[in-house]
């Protein structure tokens, strides 16, 4: 498993694009992996024939662990691919290719460098024996071309990798051994492997052991539960990937930054009329111009008048960092959870540029192609809850930022205009801000500025 950058230490195999026996070329996509921040396509650093897939889809793998073995054209040489083909994946430091050790002894990976050779060890098996398979048990070409540090040898083809489950309490102190597919089956069925007796060689738990346990569990170790009707059983899903990272970030933010939330209802009739006129014009005819684009522009303009709204609290340094640029995060719902990709230097873009950036950002996010780099370095976030028909909410600030703005549904509502009741297009805004960085006066002024720009876009000409 290569180092995908951003300080991430593990990733999950989502799917394989190749199978044993397939011929692959340098930079051909061989798998999709999901990190805590995004789904990433994994290219091959070698040209050759796939010898073995060493990890099952759905299993979380630590960086540096072998996941695939490729037999190169020249047996026993990890650099067998032609030099011209290998050049695109040469490491920036030391000239090392992906999978080879550089001048400092570290393994070149997709992004940055992995651990030094010899520093990665598997968890010990029962009785303290090392879990690594002997190098002699595998063909030399496969052992040398594994996409991981050479010191961590993948298991022999005739003996699938046996990974001990994490200790979770139960019968005895021994950690049970089981193949990744068996552990996944147990997880899907809600079976605690520590309660299962393995019948395989050396006490290894097999698929049949898990299936037998579900039909005839130990009455002492696994008390009988009330049976659910077919199709109404509880479903368990591992906390991982984007959901795991989001949960950790939100808990950290909620219990670190003192949140204050303010609300404002805005008559956006004039802005929606302006949108209709712009849509009819030639410049915006081929652009998806949404209300969110106007909100994004208003935020960028208002942030210049309240710099603390675009700042970061650096407690370690004892400083407040006032950012010179607005890197605007837009919360986007995807099949794998909520992510917040960024529009870099949003304050330098005009309305058309923001509208185009929003369209590209959401399309990329929903297709699962957002890169990890596009999910970091934001300075202010907008979350559009109105797209779900929700009026308002109390959003949690993204860690490292000073504030977040929630935009509610834009819809007709009764409104008083010049003392008369009328039907107007109204939107509710809610701003949560970190009270260490933004005091009540500053937060209120910023929210009022955003509201004023949406109520009358012409106000921008007076600033």
Q: Around Cβ 231, how many Cβ atoms within 10 Å?
A: 5
Tell how strand 380-384 and strand 403-407 pair up: parallel
3-state helix, strand, coil in the chain (%, to 5): 30, 25, 45
- Nearest Cα neighbor of 338 from 59, 37, 60 is 37
Q: What is the pLDDT of residue 442?
A: 97
**Residue 259 known to be catalytic:** no
Q: What is the pLDDT of residue 6?
A: 58
Q: What is the C-alpha to C-alpha distance for residues 46 and 144, in angstroms, rounded to an integer? A: 11
Sketch out the chain's domains with CATH numbers.
10-144 (2.40.50.100), 163-215 (4.10.320.10), 241-462 (3.30.559.10)
Region class of 271: left (phi > 0), else alpha (psi between -120 and 50), else beta: alpha
Cβ atoms of 382 and 430 within 8 Å: the answer is no
Q: What is the C-alpha to C-alpha distance for residues 447 and 298, in angstroms, rounded to an integer? A: 10
Q: 43-46, long-range: CB within 8 Å, 24+ apart, which pairs? A: 43/89, 43/110, 44/70, 44/147, 45/86, 45/89, 45/97, 45/98, 45/99, 45/110, 45/147, 46/70, 46/72, 46/78, 46/80, 46/81, 46/99, 46/145, 46/147
Q: How far is CA 69 from CA 14, 320, 350, 399, in A?
A: 18, 49, 49, 39
> What confidence tens digit (pLDDT) does each residue in 308-359 have?
999 999 999 999 999 999 999 999 988 777 889 999 999 999 999 999 999 9
> What confidence tens digit (pLDDT) does each residue in 406-451 have?
999 999 999 999 999 999 999 999 999 999 999 999 999 999 999 9
User: From the candidates 259, 323, 327, 435, which is the catalytic residue?
Assistant: 435
Residue labelled with tokens 């067998």: 80
Q: What is the pLDDT of residue 75?
A: 52
Q: What is the pLDDT of residue 151?
A: 37
Burial of 3 (0-12, 13-18, 19+ CB in 10 A): buried
pTM of the model: 0.59
Q: Could you state, in chain order, the average pLDDT of each consecutive group of 10 residues for the chain (463 residues)? A: 74 91 93 80 91 90 90 60 37 42 48 40 41 38 37 41 44 61 80 86 83 66 61 83 83 92 98 96 93 98 98 95 97 85 97 97 89 90 96 95 98 96 98 97 98 97 94
Q: What is the C-alpha to C-alpha distance for residues 284 and 306, in angstroms, rounded to an integer? A: 30
Q: What is the pLDDT of residue 217?
A: 56
Cα distance from N-terminal residue to C-terminal residue, the chain: 52
Cβ atoms of 270 and 457 within 8 Å: the answer is yes
């Amino acid at each position: 498993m290569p180092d995908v950058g951003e300080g991430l230490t593990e990733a999950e195999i989502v799917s394989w694009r190749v199978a044993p026996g397939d011929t692959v070329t340098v930079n051909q996509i061989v798998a999709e992996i999901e990190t805590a921040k995004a789904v990433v396509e994994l290219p091959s650093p070698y040209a050759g024939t796939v010898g073995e897939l060493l990890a099952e889809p759905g299993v979380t793998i630590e960086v540096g662990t072998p996941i695939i073995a490729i037999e190169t054209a020249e047996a026993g040489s990890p650099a067998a691919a032609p030099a011209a083909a290998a050049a695109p994946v040469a490491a920036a430091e030391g000239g090392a290719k992906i999978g080879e050790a550089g001048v400092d002894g570290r393994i070149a990976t997709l992004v940055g460098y992995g651990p030094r050779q010899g520093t990665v060890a598997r968890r010990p098996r029962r009785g303290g024996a090392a879990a690594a398979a002997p190098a002699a048990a595998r063909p030399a070409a496969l052992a040398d071309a594994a996409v991981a540090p050479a010191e961590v040898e993948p298991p022999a083809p005739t003996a699938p990798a046996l990974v001990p489950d994490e200790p979770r309490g139960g019968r005895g102190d021994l950690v049970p051994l089981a193949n990744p597919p068996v552990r996944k089956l147990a997880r899907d069925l809600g079976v605690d492997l520590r309660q299962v007796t393995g019948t395989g060689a050396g006490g290894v738990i097999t698929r049949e052991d898990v299936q037998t346990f579900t039909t005839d569990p130990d009455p002492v170790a696994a008390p009988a539960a009330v049976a659910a009707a077919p199709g109404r059983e509880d479903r368990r899903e591992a906390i991982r990937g984007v959901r795991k990272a989001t949960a950790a970030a939100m808990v950290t933010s909620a219990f670190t930054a003192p949140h204050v939330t303010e609300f404002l209802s805005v008559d956006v009739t004039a802005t929606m009329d302006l949108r209709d006129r712009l849509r009819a014009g030639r410049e915006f005819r081929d652009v998806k111009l949404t209300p969110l684009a106007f909100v994004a522009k208003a935020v960028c303009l208002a942030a210049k008048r309240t710099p603390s709204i675009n700042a970061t609290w650096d407690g370690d340094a004892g400083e407040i960092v006032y950012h010179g640029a607005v890197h605007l995060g837009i919360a986007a719902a995807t099949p794998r959870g909520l992510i917040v990709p960024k529009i870099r230097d949003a304050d330098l873009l005009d309305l058309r540029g923001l509208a185009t950036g929003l369209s590209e950002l959401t399309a990329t996010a929903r297709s699962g192609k957002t890169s990890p780099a596009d999910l970091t370095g934001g300075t202010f976030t907008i979350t559009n809850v109105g797209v779900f028909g929700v009026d308002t909410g109390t959003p949690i600030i993204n860690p490292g930022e000073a504030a977040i703005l929630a935009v509610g549904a834009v819809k007709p509502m009764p409104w008083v205009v010049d003392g008369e009741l009328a039907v107007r297009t109204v939107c509710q805004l809610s701003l949560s801000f970190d009270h260490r960085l933004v005091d009540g006066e500053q937060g209120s002024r910023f929210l009022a500025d955003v509201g004023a720009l949406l109520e009358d876009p012409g106000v921008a000409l007076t600033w």
